Structure 1
């Protein structure tokens, strides 16, 4: 096994120029409870861009392209250690085991969730994000806690198809799980042509929901093919009280109209704010209509296993 590896390192918050190709990165060794994984495929997601530009810092209030290179706490869990190898989506093969690890076995094809549960008594939904709090899949090898890996050796999908699943489909399935989507629900998905949005359309349709999707007109056909019965343009607004569930990935200036699309007793689940995280809310619209709001980042182990 080589002592070094090739990969892309993030050298600080900023534009693509902060990503540096390196052909001599020291290959990591797995510690106790860890596994060395040879990367077979890695996906690129909006969260990788958000981390690079420092968008997760609380002082950043604009859309996801509006990060701040001066922030210190721009990662999911706060300040990053640079250089950092990003890559929140991973499909790989186990090539070495750390002390105390018996599974997954060497040779097994694996994936892992993007947000990885590490709960404590004080923080029951604590998690770490691969490619943010520790080095991820934008290199030939990475080290992952053994208990975060799932055996996908028997899956008929290709490495590339599996490598595109953890972030998009894991987040989408978490949103639908938290909002308790079941057959017959009327579901509105914003940002439906993006990775998480398209996955949410597909999974909601699979669950038997009636899906309305918001997406750019140029991508309407792809969204319909994924299972949407109705596609609204980005500027269009769903009728008031017309849906049971909103899966929101956009936020921004149209947020209040999106919330108004919910029927009384409706459920709103959010895992993104690509149009901006700052919104105006009339609290009466929430409590007088008995709405339930869910912020969704933590993916419970049983949810990812179900995916």
Structure 2
């Protein structure tokens, strides 16, 4: 099933997009043909019963691995005047939206010492860039072969995935990896520290000592729902041209199998983009 329950098939996948408006539905205002637009992957639709409800593009709704995509005008944002390319903007909704949400929930700001896991991935690189923009000092965890990309994004230090982070050195941790290293992330936090998590690529089941959490007065945030304000802030940054993704490769849509194979291999840092 998906976020909203049982999925209906067939379903077009793909959650990131930047496109041109080619048709506008009846009664829609604020958008016209030719405008360049983007939208969040997790599209907020809160209800009284579930204030965190959303539907995901490519899951509950047909997504962007296509030449055309139908999106509610309530979820669209005009980026016609942004100095970034279509390819750059198309690489940003999931990675930068997730990263911005993680940083906001963890309250990362000026002077924070932040540890970011998965530093060479799309979300990790976005989190490094956005954390530095907020005035934080960033240490990132990454494969050594991709360390230069992480440093270029703004990290002050990169530690390898096999290296334990120093204990009680960080005011915040942004984790998109999970797995067996999770307990060491809690140990890396100072008393009163905050950890925001939104991924479990290394494993969803973790083991830790609860005493580390309550004796150090730590706060853990689970982050999936993204508010409209979160994506609106990202769009403001895109339109100002103050953030840019790392796009390692592009592929014509017909080569989607090759793109997905490269994605799974983790051979490239940052993002891979399909071109319709």
TM-score bin, normalised by smaller chain: 0.7 to 0.9
Match of 2:204 in 1: 277
Match of 1:93 in 2: 20
1:117 aligns with 2:117: no
C-alpha change, 1:107 and 1:272, in structure 2 (3 Å) is: same
Quick one: distance in 1 between partners of 2:32 and 2:231?
20
Give 1:254's match in structure 2, choosing from 181, 188, 193: 181
The CA RMSD over aligned residues, in Å, is 0.9
Deviation at 1:78, TM superposition (A): 3.5
Mind listing any 5+ residue stretches in structure 1 that lack a counterpart? 1-72
1:102 aligns with 2:29: yes
Deviations 1:227-252 (A, max 9, x none): 00010000111111100000001100
1:299 aligns with 2:230: no
**SS of equivalent to 2:174:** strand
Quick one: distance in 2 between partners of 1:170 and 1:98?
26
Match of 1:48 in 2: none
How many pairs were matched up? 234
Mind listing any 5+ residue stretches in structure 2 that lack a counterpart? 235-276
More strand by share: 1
**SS of equivalent to 2:132:** helix
Deviations 1:80-113 (A, max 9, x none): 2111101100101111121221122222110000
Quick one: distance in 2 between partners of 1:168 and 1:78?
24
Give 1:99-178 correspondences, 5 Å limit.
99-178=26-105
More helix by share: 2
Give 1:1-307 correspondences, 5 Å limit.
73=1, 75-307=2-234
**Which is higher, the Rg of structure 1 or of structure 2?**
1
TM-score in terms of structure 1 length: 0.75
TM-score in terms of structure 2 length: 0.83
The 8 Å contact of residues 116 and 127 in structure 2, kept in 1 or not, is answered as yes
**SS of equivalent to 2:22:** strand
The 8 Å contact of residues 3 and 54 in structure 2, kept in 1 or not, is answered as no
Deviation at 1:254, TM superposition (A): 0.8
